[in-house]
Structure 1
Amino acid sequence: MTAALSRNLLADQAADELRRRLTAGEWAVGTKLPGETTLAAELGVGRSTVREALRMLAGQGMLRARQGSGVFVERTEPVADGWEAVLQREAIASIVEVRAAIEIEAARLAAVRATGADVAAMRRALDVRAAAADASDREFVDADTAVHRAVVTAAHNPVLSELFETLVPRVAAAMVEMIGLLGLRGREGAPDADEHAALVEAIAAGDADAATRISRAHLDGLAADLG
């Protein structure tokens, strides 16, 4: 059995146990769950496994992460057959696919065409994104979008820029939904900060292969989170 499979099985088991405790009424609707460290000790697993289990239950509509506050009980039973969450995930996944079609190529072109001013703009956007770690989900998503906009702008392709800007309202709405659905921020604040910084540095170095690879890995990761 691979390590990845073992981790997945542990997360499934942890989610099953937490779901059982929720259904049994251990935590009422509106109640804040114990922290990841406490739950990890109770369940006998690592914090990363607890985090994944919480994401699963958030995807079933049972939990919701509130930035800076913790994870709270939304329902003590999964959303009926999970269809609401399934449909929401499918809609967000479609947006991620379109993002990939635009942003991966934009990253490659930016590595070839970016000017010093473009790189400076990307680094400023990274700083704003980091500063938004404790902001609301919408403010954080807007700051994150600004980083991706700076990359697309650095591609110096007006059609790509136009496509990106047309998509921005739907992307922003989908990313806010995804954060709530999967509890992506929680205590992490600004997730994927290292990936974003690595992308900007690859572009600054003119490394088109690395920029393409990092952009694809980031968006593939989002798709994988949606299951």
Structure 2
Amino acid sequence: MAQPSAHNRFVAEPTIAFRRLAEQVADELRRRILRGELADGSILPKEDELLLEFPVSKPSLREAMRILEAEGLLRVRRGKLGGAVVRRPNAANVAYTVGLVLGSQEVGLSDVGNALLQVEPACVALCAQRGDRRRAVVPQLRRVHTEAVEAVEDLLLVTSASRRFHESLVSLCGNQTMIILAGALEMLWSAHETSWSSRVTDGSIVPIDERLAVLEDHLQIISAIDDGDARRAYDLAAAHLVDAQHYPGSSGVVDPSMVHNWDR
């Protein structure tokens, strides 16, 4: 049986009294965004066109836009080139939202670090368990590791490369739920660590030999993943994080604006 059009649904379902029309419009547009029917970065049709499709008042349509904007699924631009830009959810959105919640409760960065101590080694073990690890995981980790080695004398650059290594351990683990949830924590930590390193004027605060020791840990983790030794990979990652999280500036409270403004 043919599915009713969006227009027919809004006309034919006035009996759903507990849901406002604005919410129904938001539900339909949200569905299209999440399913990819509205591409990331695309512009929604103009208001007059949407009103032809959705038989609601202008205030109801504008409220639907506000709902989606508040959810981070739309970004409204003003002016001549204005319009509602589609934003598909991603790890950065999750990280920012998590940061808002943690920041509102004045949660410390050390708390985020402790969470990473639990989840990142699990992601590393998953990397080691992948049957295609030597094709899909190890080459990418080695590439990021090489970038870090080449940048070791520049604190900001090596910090950035080091954080990409940790983020890759999560993004390559193969478990989508862990990629999103652990990835959000990684982005919070990366945003703060990169922000700190960009403000450091004396690079000797983290001596070269300490940077090289960190990179050697990374190399050992890559080796364990390459060997498919999940237990060793987990243990190496856990031990490394205990040491790595003691960099200067790792204290303080979560600040979600770091993620919001972070431009890698």
Output the TM-score relative to the length of structure 1: 0.52
Q: CA deviation at 1:130?
A: 1.0
Percent identity, please: 19
Q: Does 1:163 pair with 2:181?
A: yes
Q: Does 1:108 pair with 2:125?
A: yes
Q: How many residues align?
A: 137
Q: Distance in 1 between matches of 2:245 and 2:186?
A: 18
Aligned AA for 1:126?
H
Q: Does 1:142 pair with 2:160?
A: yes
Provide closer, same or farther for how the CA distance between residues 174 and 183 of structure 1 changes in structure 2, counting only shifts above 3 A. Answer: farther
Q: Distance in 1 between matches of 2:182 and 2:148?
A: 19
Instruction: Give yes or no for contact 1:102–1:164 (8 Å, CA) kept in 2.
Output: yes
Q: CA deviation at 1:223?
A: 4.8
Q: What are the Cα deviations for residues 166-217 of structure 1, in whole angstroms up to 9, with x where unaligned?
A: 2344212332477659965233354411110000110010001110110010
Q: Does 1:125 pair with 2:144?
A: yes
Provide closer, same or farther for how the CA distance between residues 160 and 224 of structure 1 changes in structure 2, counting only shifts above 3 A. Answer: same
2:224 to 202, 205, 213: 202
Please identify which structure carries the higher helix content: 1
Q: Give 5+ residue unaligned stretches, structure 1.
A: 1-89
Point out the more displaced range, 191-200 or 109-118.
109-118
- Structure-to-structure mapping, 1:23-38, within 5 angstroms: none
Instruction: Give yes or no for contact 1:185–1:191 (8 Å, CA) kept in 2.
Output: no
Q: Give 5+ residue unaligned stretches, structure 2.
A: 1-106, 252-264
Q: CA deviation at 1:120?
A: 0.6
Q: Distance in 2 between matches of 1:218 and 1:144?
A: 12
Provide closer, same or farther for how the CA distance between residues 183 and 106 of structure 1 changes in structure 2, counting only shifts above 3 A. Answer: farther
Aligned AA for 1:160?
M
Q: Distance in 2 between matches of 1:148 and 1:220?
A: 14
Provide closer, same or farther for how the CA distance between residues 212 and 169 of structure 1 changes in structure 2, counting only shifts above 3 A. Answer: closer
What's the RMSD between the two structures over aligned residues?
2.9
SS of equivalent residue, structure 1 residue 134: coil
Question: Partner residue of 2:244?
Answer: 222
SS of equivalent residue, structure 1 residue 133: coil
Instruction: Give yes or no for contact 1:106–1:160 (8 Å, CA) kept in 2.
Output: yes
Aligned AA for 2:208?
R
Question: Partner residue of 1:62?
Answer: none
Q: What are the Cα deviations for residues 143-166 of structure 1, in whole angstroms up to 9, with x where unaligned?
A: 112111222233101111112332
Q: Distance in 1 between matches of 2:160 and 2:239?
A: 21
From the CA coordinates, give the structure whose radius of gyration is larger. Answer: 2
Q: Distance in 2 between matches of 1:209 and 1:112?
A: 10
Instruction: Give yes or no for contact 1:129–1:190 (8 Å, CA) kept in 2.
Output: no
- Structure-to-structure mapping, 1:34-183, within 5 angstroms: 91-113=108-130, 114-137=133-156, 139-176=157-194
